[in-house]
């Protein structure tokens, strides 16, 4: 997803916004999610102006699932804030549109799963641990794909991966 809060700037994003953010969630089909993410990953990080257009998000935002107005929680008067979304029970991907009062819109992708995945990256290894979010029990024999490398979780839910694998294409499926 995209950064929700950026440093204070001329665009009037979250950092300069008031305490309320309108959030609209649009449910995405799996093919829409793949297409959207592929388009987003093609935009270089240094092309900030292109990244801020969000036309690719708007083109898939058709199936509105929820609309909320949430308080922006901040530790300081200015600077990064946190939005706490309520529990979303329906597994799947969502395009989220954020509109802070007094700021500009921003978008992100949210993937809701019944799995909780924890990732720790070290110099040579990326350790992935996957558990069932409801029961907190490890998920074994679960395929974890990182770039072009796929491994399965062991009995404790762990899947060690080489750190040389691509750093941005992680997925876990529970089939």
Strand order in the sheet with 125-132: 115-121, 125-132, 158-162
Please give the backbone phi and psi of residue 46, each rounded to the nearest 5 degrees, phi first. -75, -10
* pLDDT tens figures, 96-150: 999 988 888 889 999 888 888 888 877 778 888 999 888 889 999 988 877 678 8
* Predicted local confidence at residue 165, as pLDDT: 52
| Mean pLDDT lowest among 29-43, 107-121, 122-136, 160-174 | 160-174
* pLDDT tens figures, 60-93: 999 999 999 988 777 666 666 788 888 888 889 9
Q: How far apart are CA 125 and CA 79, in angstroms?
A: 33
Strand order in the sheet with 170-172: 149-152, 143-146, 170-172
If we measure between CA atoms, which residue out of 66, 71, 55 comes closest to residue 94?
Answer: 66
């Amino acid at each position: 997803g995209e950064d929700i809060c950026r440093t204070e700037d001329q665009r009037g994003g979250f950092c300069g916004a008031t305490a309320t953010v309108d959030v609209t969630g649009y449910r995405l089909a799996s093919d829409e999610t793949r297409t959207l993410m592929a388009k987003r990953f093609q935009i270089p990080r240094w092309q900030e102006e292109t990244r801020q257009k969000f036309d690719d998000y708007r083109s898939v935002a058709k199936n509105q699932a929820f609309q909320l107005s949430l308080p922006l929680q901040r530790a300081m008067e200015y600077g990064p804030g946190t939005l706490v979304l309520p529990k979303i029970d329906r597994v799947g991907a969502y395009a989220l549109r954020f509109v802070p009062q007094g700021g500009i819109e921003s978008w992100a992708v949210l993937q809701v799963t019944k799995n909780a995945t924890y990732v720790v990256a070290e110099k040579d290894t990326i350790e992935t641990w996957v558990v069932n979010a409801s029961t907190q029990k490890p998920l074994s024999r679960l395929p974890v794909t990182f770039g072009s490398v796929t491994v399965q979780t062991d009995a404790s839910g762990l899947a060690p991966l080489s750190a040389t694998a691509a750093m941005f294409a992680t997925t876990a499926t529970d089939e």
